[in-house]
Structure 1
Amino acid sequence: MPRIDALLRDARLRLPDGVEADLLLAHVLGCSRTWLFTHAQDELDADTSAAFAALLERRERGEPVAYLTGERGFWRFDLQVGPATLIPRAETELLVELALARLPNVGPMRLADLGTGSGAIALALAFERPHAQVIATDMSGEALAIASSNARALSLHNIAFRQGDWFAALTGARFDLIASNPPYIADDDPHLAEGDLRFEPASALSSGIDGLDAIRLITAQAPAHLLPGGWLLIEHGFDQGAQVQALMRAAGLVGVETVRDLELRDRVTLGHLPR
């Protein structure tokens, strides 16, 4: 029977990022990476070895590790994900940080997350602002089922999920803050045929010939759903900051600015309704 250290040594050579081999084996065994290191000389039975080999082959064919393990870390949690949801990215945590900086630490408030997917943004906001009422929307019932499961796992009771396209599920509602990480890649962008993007839902990735169709709709309709002084924050592509700023200003928002991520790329544009 193979030992853990031998299996991992061979697997790390087969993947561009050797850490992925550790994550896959830890998933199969239901253990942590630390456990793998401290039990490196343990032998694995045939069934476990076969299950690991199957995941390894799927990863070699390009399937994202997050879909193979069914989870991805975001903010303070490990979230359940699946092919119906976008895989949460670390750079989206900037959107959460910027939103929290514009919200009081206490007191009632109403927040919305449009196109919630796995619920990453909405769950982070609900966790950090327990007195807020958060509504998360998505067109996909499968995505909402995953987001709801994540909320239950985190015992978050100040969040509700509604199915609908952007603001369609929020008729008549107004919020102190609206956040969204909508699709923003152009429909013909060659990157859609590369890497993990090949396996993620197209509806969560691309939006029109310039990638801005969803953002145009969100910015145009946001003022009707914001309270006086309420904020709109949108994540977007590295080369879309100026265009999103123009859309927000055209919608009547003020204090509009674009914030760069850790790699100094335009990442989030925000603005607020005048008081």
Structure 2
Amino acid sequence: MSTVTISTLISLGKQMLTQNSDSAKLDAQILLSFVLNKPISYLLTWPEEQVGSTNKEDFLLLLQRRVLHEPIAYIIGEKEFWSLPFKVSPSTLIPRPDTEVLVETVLQNHGDGTHTCCDLGTGTGAIALALASERTSWIIDAIDFNTDAVSLAKENAASLGFITVNIYQSDWFSKVESTKQFDIIVSNPPYIDKVDPHLVEGDVQYEPLSALVADKEGMGDFMIIAEHAINYLNPNGMLYFEHGYEQGDSLRNLLKVLGYRGIKSIKDYNGHERVTFAQR
């Protein structure tokens, strides 16, 4: 059969992905809308529309990649974050909904005045560019040690129209000018223990280990950043971290030992501690 309907392909996709995805039908819809270059609303409006053989074969090839747990974002090269479309690649972590809690927390604590902000480990640029979209007067630096990530973040900044965000390569603070001072430092660093069994399961196995794993049971990069950030924060400046749901106590203790004040943790949409912040 050379052609088949949209609804038939969606049903086939759902059937193929049920064992591999918690959102099998949505995954199928996203992949088919990508192949057809149409919004999902088109698929819902025209379920009996015929799909040609070439598009059908392309769709089936993408389904096979998804069956092997390759993330949807890598397959289509894009992920929405903060209602903004971000280009993604296997060199960067895929932006996650929980990270929006980090952005929300920063925005709630800092208004529209002129603030200086540094996003450490920017990846796709998601955090920095989301903040830039809401606070146009802020002066924002975004850094990453991975040159491919830096290039991608710059591409996202250009496509989204936030070209004033200063994006550059640095291994944490190694290339940040020693005289620079920030009102806000924010980071979603690697925080998974390298022996965590989930690293070889499901979608996460496709993501770069360098963006996921830290030594010292996942606390290593928090230690480095927190120790040095205090020297780059203005008086009363704020440091924000996203972290694993079981790391809140350890992170609060670390920040207290290093002399930070006003330490507080925020829960994510599932009721788990996900963001911790403190004041210099």
Query: TM-score w.r.t. structure 1 length?
Result: 0.97
Deviations 1:106-150 (A, max 9, x none): 3x2110000000111000111111011110000111111111111
Report whether the alignment pairs 1:64 with 2:66: no
Q: Quote the Cα distance in structure 2 between the aligned partners of 1:55 and 1:92.
A: 27
Query: Counterpart of 2:84?
Result: 77
Q: Does the CA contact (< 8 Å) of 1:245 and 1:269 recur in 2?
A: yes
Q: What SS class does the counterpart of residue 59 from structure 1 fall into?
A: helix
Deviations 1:235-260 (A, max 9, x none): 11111001111111122110001111
Q: What SS class does the counterpart of residue 222 from structure 2 fall into?
A: helix
1:209 to partner: Cα distance: 4.0
Aligned positions of 1:4-153 closer than 5 A? 4-16=6-18, 17-106=24-113, 108-153=114-159
Q: Quote the Cα distance in structure 1 between the aligned partners of 2:78 and 2:198.
A: 23
Aligned positions of 1:231-250 closer than 5 A? 231-250=238-257
Q: What SS class does the counterpart of residue 166 from structure 1 fall into?
A: coil
Q: Quote the Cα distance in structure 1 between the aligned partners of 2:101 and 2:227.
A: 23
Deviations 1:41-67 (A, max 9, x none): 111222111111110000001100010
* Unaligned ranges ≥5, structure 2: 19-23
Q: Does the CA contact (< 8 Å) of 1:186 and 1:209 recur in 2?
A: yes
Q: Quote the Cα distance in structure 1 between the aligned partners of 2:222 and 2:144.
A: 15
Report whether the alignment pairs 1:217 with 2:219: no
Query: Counterpart of 1:206?
Result: 213
C-alpha RMSD over aligned residues: 1.0
1:194 to partner: Cα distance: 0.8
Identical-residue share of aligned pairs (%)? 38
Q: What SS class does the counterpart of residue 182 from structure 1 fall into?
A: coil
Q: Does the CA contact (< 8 Å) of 1:188 and 1:209 recur in 2?
A: no
1:15 to partner: Cα distance: 1.0
Q: Quote the Cα distance in structure 2 between the aligned partners of 1:160 and 1:245.
A: 30
Query: Counterpart of 2:21?
Result: none
AA in 2 matched with 1:250: V
1:153 to partner: Cα distance: 1.1
Q: What SS class does the counterpart of residue 51 from structure 2 fall into?
A: coil
AA in 1 matched with 2:261: V
Equivalences, count: 272
Q: Does the CA contact (< 8 Å) of 1:131 and 1:158 recur in 2?
A: no
1:158 to partner: Cα distance: 2.5
Query: Counterpart of 2:4?
Result: 2
Q: Does the CA contact (< 8 Å) of 1:81 and 1:87 recur in 2?
A: yes
1:26 to partner: Cα distance: 0.5
Q: Does the CA contact (< 8 Å) of 1:112 and 1:178 recur in 2?
A: yes
Q: What SS class does the counterpart of residue 52 from structure 1 fall into?
A: helix
Q: Quote the Cα distance in structure 1 between the aligned partners of 2:149 and 2:181.
A: 24
1:157 to partner: Cα distance: 2.7
* Unaligned ranges ≥5, structure 1: none
Report whether the alignment pairs 1:180 with 2:195: no
AA in 1 matched with 2:147: G
